[in-house]
Structure 1
Amino acid sequence: MLGVVGLLAGGGSSCFAQCKEMISPSNHKKVHYHTIQLADKKEYLTLSRTGGERILSYHNERIGLVYYTQMFIEIRFWTPQGRFSLYSAANDRSNWQPIFVLAAPVTPKELEKMKTVTKIEVMLPEDTKVFNVDAQKNALVNKAIACMH
């Protein structure tokens, strides 16, 4: 019964039934988002959409890095068709923020390429995080991509 209510609440569109929703505290607009676990609950990706803007974010609750200057960090996506990268600016982060977050805008064309992702690399200044994407995680990626339309 609850699943039927979720489908109906989504206005008949299956992509909204699987997306989470919240109201942005900064601009009071509706945000659709979906989270993809990478290693465990402390390391994950989020795809979010507010209107026509789509953002991919990498979250890591274990990294204690503090940046005092802006720097660019590469996030690589490996697919059977090749690889592509998104670039994120790591902004000044203070110790009172508990989660390290990188965010980059993502286009519909890049989302389409992500549907067959097999590996994700996050190129940090002092470390490279590599995540292999198995069939189960790829299904989560595709579910999140469906929320972005």
Structure 2
Amino acid sequence: MNYALCMKFTFLLGVMGLLAVSENTCMAQCKETVSPSNHKKVHYHKIQLADKMEYLTLSRTGDEIVLSYHNERIGLVFYSQMFTEIRFWTPQGQFSLYSTANDRSNWQPIFILASPVTRKELEKMKATTKIEVLLTEDTKVFNVDAQKNVMLNKAIACMH
């Protein structure tokens, strides 16, 4: 694996860890923080799924956008395939993002899947009606009602 790819992956893990330990629980506003690893500004937005224990985060650093699935209920070391599918259902059809699990360590009790997102995929997400997270031993299905869709669209707007 080349050095630049390793550094990018390490940065993404650092950003996800930073977002996961944030004590701010507001779910409907654009937020900003500064990455401790590279001192760049990170814009992020949380989208609550089932409850406060499971949520999505869209984050942007410069032109790079990452979608993350967070699950605070998975407390044990959880076996995850190298790539896990996150499927989005819209009236126009479905599409998938493929994510990787972050490194689980004792200081990070939250299970996180992270995937880079393109602007084209963000546009497709605007009309999401259902999200499926296909884990190795379970499939999480989240219906996206009008209120959650508004939150998702606010998050997408924060990424521009």
**TM-score normalised to structure 2 length:** 0.78
Runs of 4+ in 1 over 4 A off after TM superposition: 67-70
Question: Do the aligned partners of residues 68 and 134 (structure 1) sit closer, same or farther apart at CA in structure 2, a change above 3 Å counting?
Answer: closer
Deviation at residue 91 of structure 1 after TM alignment: 4.0
Report the secondary structure of 2:155's partner residue: helix
SS at match of 1:71: coil
Q: How many residues align?
A: 132
Unpaired stretches in structure 1, ≥5 consecutive residues: 1-17
Q: Distance in 1 between matches of 2:70 and 2:131?
A: 13
Give yes or no for contact 1:66–1:95 (8 Å, CA) kept in 2.
Answer: no
Per the alignment, residue 10 of structure 1 pairs with: none
Instruction: From 48, 71, 85, give the equivalent of 2:96.
Output: 85
Q: For residues 25-53 of structure 1, give each alpha carbon's deviation from its aligned partner in whole angstroms, at most 9, with x where no partner exists.
A: 11110000100000111100000100000
Percent identical pairs in the alignment equals 83
1:43 has 2:54 as partner? yes
Question: Structure 1's 101 and 46: CA in aligned 2 closer, same or farther, altered over 3 A?
Answer: same
Contact between 1:76 and 1:122, CA under 8 Å: does it hold in 2? Answer: yes
1:97: Cα distance to partner? 1.6
What corresponds to 1:109 in structure 2?
A: 120
Equivalence map 1:1-149=2 (5 Å): 18-66=29-77, 71-149=82-160
Larger radius of gyration: 1
Report the CA distance between 1:71 and its aligned residue. Answer: 1.4
- Deviation at residue 96 of structure 1 after TM alignment: 3.6
TM-score by length of 1: 0.84
- What residue identity is the alignment partner of 1:100? F
